[in-house]
Structure 1
Amino acid sequence: MSLVLAETIAGVKPSKTLAVSAKAAELRAQGFDVINFGAGEPDFDTPENIKDAAVKAIRDGQTKYTAASGTIQLKSAVQNKLQRENGLHYELNQLIINAGAKHTLFTLFQTILNAGDEVLIPAPYWVSYPDMVALLRGRPVIVPTTAENNFEITVADLQKYITPKTKALVLNSPSNPTGSVYSREKLQAIADFLAYKDLYIISDEIYEHFLYDGARFCSIAQLSEKIRAKTIIVNGVSKAYSMTGWRIGYAAGPEAVIQAMTMIQSQSLSNPTSIAQAAAVEALNGAQTSVAKMLAAFQERRDLICQAFQEIDGVACRCPQGAFYVFPEVSALYEKSFQGQKIRNSEDLAAALLENAHIAVVPGGSFGAENYIRLSYACAPENIQRGLARFKEFVQNLR
């Protein structure tokens, strides 16, 4: 008898965004001046009041196990945030704290999926959704969208792809990678259609605070009690408070789902880090000025990168309404070559840009959109300018 790994491992890929950042760091260590547009995290430091809260928690001895679902203090802070910002009330037993929103999603999929259950995932999608579903023996069903429709699904799309095996729909607004933001009206149409469908709605709202040009955030859970009863909100403190490494996410939803997630977490994670939970309490309850400052900076950077792309032939870049990514269409560059190196797809383009221009981008194929690449503008304006100048020069040298 030979020992083998689980069959599900064979169909799962490593996170491309993390792989790109690791490769960029490797080249930097070799002395190359690499500009990293791959990272999905703010480049700002965690605000001082949040760090101070963590230090105080350490000094006060808050270094032990907590309840599996998180501390009462943090769940209360999440409860208040949802009421204050989203007009949604959840009881504490309808809330769970996890080790980052990614862990929230994984635990949620563990909770609701049986083998063969289908999950509708609009494309372009965040790279981890399909692999999470596949790893848990579900079936990711990719629902294509178009740039003409702002990369948003419609009721017609749902009618085409929903089957008796559909267990859940993933909605991500503002979107990673496209920066699209569903309007209340578009969400209402989806909500009206799904109100009597027997499926869960997973609303990934991690970028809710990063909105531009008057775009307004709406959670589908706000639209009716019937929809709220089948929606699980997924969020966290990583993006809005520049706390990616602290690993605190949370979910709000039906009590039965949240309690099942808590049971799984009690047997896997035990609990999120006590010190990070104390810091997250301050993030949610404390002054929110840092969020406004980051948003203003991202607005400036978004305008800068979109303007720079307008000056690059063969690249079409929509200006995003939210998050901190641009998702330019680059297929006009395919079938060209850089110094004899053929560019056939987004993977080839990303590799050539990293090797020759020393700029790190994420290939669109990883997001289910082969004709695109993703760039994060969560980096200094001078790096955006230098990086896009290199991109332009690279394109000018394609033959």
Structure 2
Amino acid sequence: MSEKQQLLSPLNYIPADIQSAQDYEYLARRFIAAPNYEYIAGGSGRDQTLASNLAAFNKWAVCPRILCDVTKGHTGFNLLNREYAHPIFLAPVAYQKLAHPLGEIESARAAEAMQSCFISSTLATQSLETIAATGAEAKWFQLYFQPKLEATLDLVRRAETAGYSALVVTVDASIRMPSLGALRAQFKMPDECVAVNVQHYEINPSAEIAANESRIFQGAMREAPTWADLEWLISETNLPVIVKGVLHPVDALKLKNVGAAGIVVSNHGGRSLDGAPASLDCLAAIRAAVGDDYPVLFDSGIRSGLDIFKAIALGADAVLIGRLQVYALSVAGALGVAHMLRLLREELELCMAQTGCATLDDIRNTRLQSA
């Protein structure tokens, strides 16, 4: 985009050239400032894992089936003793005012309109209480451990009071390398993008590091959560605790054994360790490790209903939509996010119909083919 081109304000209608959910990604550059777009679109480091996430879906093919009666088909399912109309949830995405003046409020409204579950980020630009007040019935709160446990516990109590029905605890993002694309674009967080949920908590001053100590191991990782912290958290709340950021089957099984209510197989869309495997490549082994009945959610790289079908076939109960959520938000606010969700659901249903799958259980029993 040239310097002379001006960004469009969010529309109050759906652009005619949106024909698929992924079209929002292509259109978003016209609505998001270039440095902000690079921050949203980028992963970490050289974006190797981000690219792997997208490529992983192309390793699998879906075989059509013929003469199947799917006229009673549906996408409903039960998760954590709650019925959902479809398995497409909105991932916890921080700083959504980068894409829209109202940020997370608009995304939560879209989730409610489309019978989705909205997962609110600790680093949201609207408070967790304000988001809850939008009326979204199905809502979870994503939690980052804070430097002080009393601040972490206060966030939990606030989420409980506001009516969130689950906690999604991110455990693998204590440190990461920023995207080189965002650095080259000279991205700087705008003044209006404030993590309001945590702005009033006291932050521990940075500890002194001795000359022979590492600024990584003894510095940045000094306050990273541990297994003991997670077990403490599970003991402190009656809400189900779902752990996000799981890629290894051994970790998944240990989480199940310590009382986590479920997991999210995720590398955060390539925003954590650059060089980590694609989330999709880890999914089947994790499902095999934890068994058929343990809740396993998935994110990282989904751009279509076909992608959702493949994730469910490989073991996911539901999927979380991250970047597409923000792209649609930038284009048309709540209307755009709701439309994106509708398109994804219809794309999923189309794939189900063509493969003879009337339910999500049918998808789980589908064997994908190597492409």
After TM superposition, the score normalised by the length of structure 2 is 0.32
Greater Rg over alpha carbons, structure: 1
Query: Which protein, 1 or 2, shows the higher relative CO under an 8 Å CA cutoff with sep ≥ 6?
Result: 2
Structure with the higher fraction of residues in helix conformation? 1
After TM superposition, the score normalised by the length of structure 1 is 0.30
